[in-house]
Structure 1
Amino acid sequence: MFKNSLLICSVVLLSACSSSPPDPMEFAGQFRDTFSTQIKGDGIKLFTYKAKLATATDRPLPNDQPHDQRVNRRKQDLQSYLIEQRNAEERLELWHQQVDLGLQKTIEMSGYCKTGFIELNRYVEMDRAEVVGECNDGATEEDIKKFGL
């Protein structure tokens, strides 16, 4: 009996360790994000990155769809929500990774923090996140022209 229990525990642990890592791209197209910048008078560059998981209300339903199709869409959104709740822990980990990926890509694309940044505050919930940071580099004349003072 003890051997069987040990074998079952080993199999469960091995399967958990061998599962593929979460893919943050799972959220592609399912979130909205904003990036706001602030340059202080002494050249300190701050930013706030906000991300929000798109909900059914963020994805408007076409008005030209028949009523039955709109009702079915709402039911599908509800079913998706219930499935998400069942997988909440894994989804939260994926969401953290998506926030990190979105922030990294946004900073790269904007060119705001050229030498990295220090995270001052992070707030992540299941459907929204906010990261406040300070760039390691000070503002240049180009930064002030591009992002304002």
Structure 2
Amino acid sequence: MFKHYLIVCSLMALSACSASPPDPKEFAGQFRDTFSTEIKGDGIKLFTYKAKLATATDRPLPDDQPHDQRINRRKQDLQSYLIEQRNAEQRLELWHQQVDLGLQKTIEMSGYCQAGFVELNRYVEMDRAEIRGECNDGATQEDFTKFGR
């Protein structure tokens, strides 16, 4: 009976770990995003959030590294890419979560959609994503000043 109790507790602990929010550090140095806004004449606030995983060419290599070290770095990036492909499904789920987290943090930091938003379109692939949305609140004079038309 005690063994069954331990097994159930272990499974619950494992499921709790897998349900935790994504760790932004998982994509540290690999994540690039942009947030563009558009305010229509009648005060409707729209946005487009784009995110992508940085490729090896997106990640800057220090110019002061010798040529051999830069070549080795490129090989390591390729090896990392191949390993990532083996874990693609799990990585895609984490990527979805990271995109959602990135959008949430971007909206919070910008203050663009004060009353939340409605998602109009979502496109998420293994290495890039785009979410278009419309804010639930209309544009204020401050919004026009801060974000333009």
Does the TM-score normalized on the shorter chain lie above 0.5?
A: yes
Instruction: Quote the residue 2:3 is aligned against.
Output: none
2:12 is aligned with 1:20 = no
Identity of aligned residues (%): 84
Equivalences, count: 138
Q: Deviations over 1:66-125 (max 9, x none)?
A: 122111101100010001000000110010001000000000000000000000000001
1:1-149 maps to which residues of 2 (within 5 A)? 18=15, 20-21=17-18, 23-25=22-24, 26-149=26-149
Shift of 1:62: 1.9
3-state SS of paired residue (2:118): strand
Structure 2 unpaired stretches of 5+: 1-10
The TM-score normalised by the length of structure 2 is 0.85
Runs of 4+, deviation exceeding 6 Å: none
3-state SS of paired residue (1:20): helix
3-state SS of paired residue (2:43): coil
Question: In the alignment, residue 17 of structure 2 is paired with which amino acid?
Answer: S
What value does the CA root-mean-square deviation take over the aligned residues? 2.0
Structure 1 unpaired stretches of 5+: 1-13
